[in-house]
Amino acid sequence: MAHDSPFHRPAATRPISRRDFLWQSGGGLGGLALAAMLGHDRALAADVSAPASRPVHHPAKAKRVVQFFMAGAASHIDLFDYKPELIKRHGQPSDFGEPVEAFQNGLGPWLRPIWDFQPYGQSGKMLSEVVAPLGGVVDDLAFVHNMVGKSGVHSAATLLQSTGFQLPGFPGAGCWVSYGLGSLNENLPTFVVLPDHRGFASNGVKNWDAAFLPSQHSGTIIFPGTEAPVADLFPHASGKFITPRGEAAAHRLMADLNRQHSAAREGDQRLDARIRSYELAARMQLAAPEALNLKAEPAHVLKLYGLDGGPQTWPKEINADEEAFHFSQKCLAARRLLERGVRFVQIWSGNDNSFPRRNWDSHENVQRDHGPLALGMARGAAAFIKDLKQRGLLEDTLILWTTEFGRMPSSQGGKGRDHNPFVFTNWLCGGGIKGGTTHGESDLWGYKPLDRTNPTTVYDIHATILHQLGLDHTRLTFRHNGIDRRLTDVHGHVIKNILA
């Protein structure tokens, strides 16, 4: 039954059996359901004995992934990519030595990094003071300073980093991981998205929905710390007639009636799978609130994340404390979810492009927007990495920090920076990544890669992540509209330099 592996899609003409159907459409339902429904068939059960951890292509270094996504495009040169030449040339007319097509023509004089840089850790990596908290974990980070994008348009650039394609209609990276590896704990979703507390980034759910993959691989949206963090986990407010005792009775009776129904319709495993999905739903109702109960954390952990202050009120203007609170809250929720078997967590910083700015799209004033966003992100991310490390979770949890594109070394309107899709920075951490390393450099200005013929692309990043998860990015495919689709399209090379 080798063709039952999701990595080897059978020809579309092959008759689709019920069991194939379950693999293709119900895989995320997880092993228990499948095992239960196939239990009577020993020959089949044998090769799905542990479907929760599906067969991988090679031994895995990482089991789970966390993606930090900075919406609006975070400035590499103000945070991570130290460019002393800009300090030297600050205020001089910018000259790129070639014609430049900038999104809003923000080609004013060179603008020095808004914050000072200093070295951190054994590696002596230069970091901006606005991300100073990350200095404490810098030796665990591997930087990629020669990332290139394809477009300076927010929507297309966000999709490219989140799904590997510039057009809507492709699954997010987390969907592919869910599809490829399946669940570690079927009581929780496999792929969780923690959006910015203000709302979604460009393209909304298109950044993480399953597109042509079966819908259970979509990212499940969770807003930690809110009244209803998971949609439809519990009955709508108008359901006053629903009581806990009644729920248990309803589940029993439904299962009973459903079993009578399916008994008269032998051989259709979807009917049993649906019965099972209600059992799992009931278990998720227990598991999700437990996982998201941040109050259960001991005081020292809350302190590590800066969440020991309790609920607070904030000024109206964007500010670092509020950003840190929300970002840290998401990080802590992420850690609890990962511990409980969630495969992929995507954490967003920044809402869509609007005024006043509530994301990283600092055309007008880098200091005003990047300051609070970066400091808030750095506090949360640093606490998160330390926390994973002290629990031994960092070893097999791979973290990616990414954004839409970079920002220009020239100024826009004096204090802002325009889009720079020509070069930007990613960093990775944990999950078999070699810390304290840098792969790829940008040029003198942070305008383009130093070596323009060998840039790093999102395909390479995705290939590397899949590789660490034990997956060959060229073999994780799904046929859609006549094409065997991959997360990495027809590109991508594993970045061996940053592997431990």
Expressed in percent and rounded to 5, the helix, strand and coil fractions of the chain are: 40, 15, 45
Among 74, 114, 271, 399, binds other proteins (CB under 8 A): 271
Tokens matching residue 110: 């060179």
Task: List, in order, residues 6 or more apart from 438 with CB less than 8 Å away.
Answer: 125, 142, 143, 144, 145
Considering beta carbons, is residue 156 or 338 the nearer one to other proteins?
156
| 412 touching other proteins, by CB under 8 A | yes
> Is residue 284 close enough to count as binding other proteins by CB under 8 A?
yes
Residue from the set 31, 174, 214, 371 that interacts with other proteins by CB under 8 A: 214
**Which member of 32, 96, 270, 395 binds other proteins (CB under 8 A)?**
270
Q: Is the CB of 111 or the CB of 273 nearer to other proteins?
A: 273
Which range, of 248-256, 303-311, 378-386, 470-478, touches other proteins by CB under 8 A?
A: 248-256
d(CA 324, CA 131): 12
List C-alpha distances in Å: 227 to 135, 234, 247.
35, 11, 21
Task: Work out the angle between the directed axes of helices 31-38 and 18-26 (0-180°, nearest 10).
Answer: 170
Query: Residue 92 or 243: which CB sits closer to other proteins?
Result: 243
Q: What would the x/- binding string for other proteins be over residues 448 to 487, using CB under 8 A?
A: -------------------------------x-xxxx---
Give whichever of 363 and 462 is closer to other proteins, judged by the CB atom: 363
419-450 burial code (b ≥16 CB/10 A, e <16) = bbbbbbbbbbbbbbbebebbbbbbbebbbbbe
Of 205, 182, 189, 179, the closest CA to residue 485 belongs to 179
Give the nearest distance from C-beta 134 to other proteins in angstroms.
27
| One of 1, 46, 242, 500 touching other proteins (CB under 8 A) | 242
Nearer to other proteins, 62 or 494 (CB): 494
153-182: contacts with other proteins (CB under 8 A) = 153-156, 158, 166-169
The pattern of x and - marking residues 37 through 76 that bind other proteins according to CB under 8 A reads ----------------------------------------
According to the binding rule CB under 8 A, does residue 226 interact with other proteins?
A: no
Number of residues that bind other proteins (CB under 8 A): 103
> How far apart, in whole angstroms, are the C-alpha atoms of residue 350 and residue 357?
9
In the list 203, 328, 329, 346, the residue contacting other proteins (rule: CB under 8 A) is 203
Radius of gyration of the chain (CA): 24
User: 194: which 2 tokens?
Assistant: 């923690």
Which string of DSSP letters, residue by residue, matches 69-107?
A: EETT---HHHHT---HHHHHTTTSPP--SS----TT---
Query: Residue 253, interface with other proteins (CB under 8 A)?
Result: yes
Stretch of 7-15, 57-65, 130-138, 444-452 contacting other proteins, by CB under 8 A:
7-15
- Contact between 225 and other proteins by CB under 8 A: the answer reads no
Q: Would you count residue 105 as binding other proteins (CB under 8 A)?
A: yes
Judged by beta carbon, residue 125 or residue 357, the one nearer other proteins is 357
Nearer to other proteins, 30 or 435 (CB): 30
How far is 285 from 468, CA to CA, in rounded Å? 32
Q: Is residue 420 involved in binding other proteins (CB under 8 A)?
A: no
d(C-alpha 467, C-alpha 62), whole Å: 9
At residue 199, the 3 state secondary structure works out as strand
Residue 254 C-beta: closest distance to other proteins, Å: 6
**Could you say which DSSP state residue 306 is in?**
T
Q: Are strands 344-349 and 191-194 parallel, antiparallel or unpaired?
A: parallel
Q: Which residues in 361-380 contact other proteins (CB under 8 A)?
A: 363-365, 368
Say whether 492 sits in a helix, a strand or coil: coil
| Distances 414 to 111, 113, 130, 426, 428 between C-alpha atoms, Å | 8, 13, 20, 26, 32
Name the residue nearer to other proteins (CB basis): 87 or 281. Answer: 281
Instruction: List the one residue from 209, 297, 387, 443 that touches other proteins (CB under 8 A).
Output: 209
Q: Is the peptide bond before 356 cis (omega within 30 degrees of 0)?
A: yes
Answer for which of 119, 124, 204, 289 binds other proteins (CB under 8 A) is: 204
Among residues 2, 122, 312, 355, the one that binds other proteins under rule CB under 8 A: 355
